Amino acid sequence: MYKLLKAGLFRLKKEMSFWLFMFLSFGIAILVLFKGYSSNNEMILDKLTNEFTLYIGLFIAIFVSMFVGKEHSEGIIRNKIIVRA
């Protein structure tokens, strides 16, 4: 199982969409923090966290569906199940 996880992470490291979503997530986190800091109102951590999780949830849903769809279409999931069975 460790070898499968290592291979999956290695494949993920080469994916351009992974790095795009990673930098986009960091950018939105910084943008949300600056937006909360620059407003004259109190910076409420709950409000900032809820706003940030909305975006991150959307990014995770898009990325996971792309990744699982690609693995399913290439037959990687089927091969993993056959090897483990």
Quick check: helix, strand or coil at residue 43? coil
Q: Report pLDDT for 15.
A: 82
pTM of the model: 0.61
pLDDT at residue 4 tops 80: no
Q: Compute the distance between CA of residue 64 and CA of residue 73 in angstroms, rounded to an integer.
A: 14
Q: What is the pLDDT of residues 19-40, one digit of tens each?
A: 888 888 888 888 877 877 776 6
Of 26-35, 41-50, 63-72, the poorest mean pLDDT is in 41-50
pLDDT at residue 65 tops 70: yes
Least Cα distance to 67 among 11, 4, 2, 27 occurs for 11
